[in-house]
């Protein structure tokens, strides 16, 4: 008896509280919360008095909203009956954000996401098992709803901005893998897969998270690296991929040293680091150390020098380049190498290091005293390499720390080949 009286008192309190709430949520939000509470009751998770009170509060609030809505619609066209195709099959209300499920059925985003987040992997209408949980905006239905609302004087349902598609399941991963596999198929399949991947990563934060590359077989990770390389050609994707954490995973793939995947990983890193924020991320994630290690092992030297030249504008990259002994390695590549492009990259990196780190000048001076490496490059290299080499020599010549022997050597090259 006491329990019954307590329950009645709580119910009255809840009803009173509901009637005095200053900011009442809209009916969509209330129904979503009600559905969640009812699922808990039906699943046997909670039979407490508190959940019963919450249900009653929501029902009371919904009744108040219904009454207000009825009063406000008295001036609306009497024929304003919402067409069934504009109603969400779950809520039976006018859809605010219609989206298409894998089965082709259209639902209001908020309600189908609640269904999916509750663990369901079937279509509520057809009961078909979903091949994936990707939601595609139904712009046509949304536009038709807007026109209908305007015609009948009905307020267009507002979008719920804090609803986020964060459902990622095994089916989504399988779908992603199928797209990645097509990246190694025929050219037409590659184009279709790349287009679909670009759309998905642009539209779905949860799908971008699948590109973390931290799990899966080497073949899957290789496919993912190839896909990221393709996706990173678009400027809009560069930022999205960088924020997803994929750069660290790509750097890890470089370090692991599987030739199957290293080239795609390096190409993707190069594309991504065109964006300054991604350049900083790559340096922070250890790219300089990994790249220099591979260069010193004579692995993918062409590709990795291009990335290092891009990263060298970052101050932390300059410091790491010196600390890891890169100056002597890069000078050696210039002295012994045959690739003009690689010499250019080395000169560009060394020029930045020379301008920003005085402690490296001794190495440059010793190299010139012994091999005249930079002086020769200043004459025989391509236009950019010559410019960078001359810049380093000018810096060394203009400092009092350079020996008389070195100055004589440098000026002899200037006299023979023109002013530096």
Q: What pLDDT score was predicted for residue 61?
A: 79
Q: What pLDDT score was predicted for residue 110?
A: 86
Q: How many Å apart are CA 112 and CA 99, to the nearest integer?
A: 9
The DSSP code for 210 is G
8 Å CB contact between 91 and 80: no
Instruction: Give Cβ neighbours of residue 84 (< 8 Å, ≥ 6 apart).
Output: none
Selection from 64, 71, 66, 132 nearest residue 104 by Cα = 132
Angle (CA) 410 387 320, round 5°: 90
Q: Secondary structure of the chain: what % helix, strand, coil (to 5)?
A: 70, 5, 30
Q: How many Å apart are CA 100 and CA 108, to the nearest integer?
A: 9
| Cα 235 from chain centroid (whole Å) | 12
Q: What pLDDT score was predicted for residue 156?
A: 85
Q: Is residue 1 classed as helix, strand or coil in its secondary structure?
A: coil
Q: What pLDDT score was predicted for residue 216?
A: 58
Q: Which sign, positive or negative, has the C-alpha torsion 241, 245, 248, 253?
A: negative
What are the φ and ψ backbone dihedral angles of 106, each rounded to 5 degrees? Answer: -105, 135
Q: How many Å apart are CA 281 and CA 271, to the nearest integer?
A: 13
Q: What pLDDT score was predicted for residue 331?
A: 94
CA dist list (Å): 95 to 34, 142, 145, 180:
18, 8, 8, 34
What's this model's pTM, rounded to 2 decimal places? 0.53
8 Å CB contact between 263 and 300: yes
Q: In what order do the strands lie in the sheet with 106-108?
A: 106-108, 98-100, 136-137
Which helix (H) or strand (E) is 106 found in, with range? strand 106-108
Q: How many Å apart are CA 389 and CA 420, to the nearest integer?
A: 9
8 Å CB contact between 230 and 194: yes
pLDDT tens, residue order, the chain (420 aa)? 444 444 445 444 444 444 443 344 567 777 777 777 777 766 665 456 677 777 778 777 777 776 665 554 444 454 568 888 899 999 888 999 999 998 899 999 888 888 888 778 889 999 998 888 778 888 889 999 999 988 888 888 877 655 555 555 555 666 766 776 676 567 777 677 777 776 666 555 555 555 557 555 676 677 777 777 877 877 877 887 888 788 998 999 899 878 778 988 999 999 999 999 999 999 999 999 999 999 999 999 999 999 999 999 999 999 999 899 899 999 999 999 889 999 999 999 999 999 988 888 988 989 988 899 999 999 999 999 999 999 999 888 877 544 445 444 554 554 444 444
Instruction: Give Cβ neighbours of residue 61 (< 8 Å, ≥ 6 apart).
Output: 18, 21, 24, 25, 30
């Amino acid at each position: 008896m006491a329990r019954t009286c307590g329950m009645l008192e709580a119910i009255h309190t809840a009803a009173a509280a509901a009637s005095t709430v200053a900011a009442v949520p809209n009916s969509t939000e209330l129904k979503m919360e009600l559905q969640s509470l009812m699922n808990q009751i039906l699943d046997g998770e909670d039979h407490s008095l508190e959940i019963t009170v919450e249900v009653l509060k929501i029902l009371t609030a919904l009744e108040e909203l219904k009454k207000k809505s009825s009063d406000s619609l008295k001036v609306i066209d009497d024929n304003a009956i919402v067409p069934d195709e504009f109603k969400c099959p779950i809520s039976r209300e006018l859809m605010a954000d219609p989206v298409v499920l894998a089965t082709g059925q259209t639902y209001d985003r908020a309600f189908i996401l609640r269904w999916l987040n509750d663990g369901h992997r079937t279509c509520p209408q057809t009961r078909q098992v979903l091949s994936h949980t990707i939601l595609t905006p139904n712009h046509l239905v949304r536009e038709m709803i807007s026109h209908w609302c305007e015609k009948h004087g009905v307020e267009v349902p507002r979008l719920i901005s804090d609803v986020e598609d964060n459902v990622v399941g095994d089916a989504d991963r399988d779908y992603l893998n199928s797209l990645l596999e097509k990246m190694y198929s025929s050219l037409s399949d590659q184009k279709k897969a790349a287009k679909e991947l670009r759309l998905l990563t642009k539209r779905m934060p949860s799908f971008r998270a699948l590109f973390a590359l931290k799990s899966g077989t080497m073949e899957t990770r290789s496919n993912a690296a190839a896909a990221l390389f393709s996706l990173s050609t678009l400027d809009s994707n560069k930022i999205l991929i960088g924020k997803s954490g994929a750069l660290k995973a790509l750097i890890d793939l470089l370090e692991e040293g599987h030739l199957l995947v290293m080239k795609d990983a390096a190409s993707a890193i190069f594309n991504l680091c065109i964006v300054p924020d991604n350049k900083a991320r790559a340096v922070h994630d250890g790219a300089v150390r990994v790249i220099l290690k591979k260069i010193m092992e004579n692995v993918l030297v062409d590709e990795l020098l291009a990335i290092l030249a891009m990263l060298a504008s970052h101050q932390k990259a300059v410091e790491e380049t010196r600390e890891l002994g890169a100056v002597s390695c890069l000078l050696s590549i210039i002295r012994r190498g045959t690739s003009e492009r690689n010499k250019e990259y080395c000169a560009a990196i060394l020029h930045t290091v020379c301008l920003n780190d005085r402690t490296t000048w001794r190495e440059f001076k010793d190299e010139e005293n012994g091999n005249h490496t930079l002086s020769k490059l200043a004459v025989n290299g391509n236009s950019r390499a010559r410019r960078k080499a001359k810049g380093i020599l000018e810096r060394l010549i203009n400092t009092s720390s350079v020996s008389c022997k070195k100055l004589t050597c440098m000026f002899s090259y200037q006299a023979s080949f023109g002013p530096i």
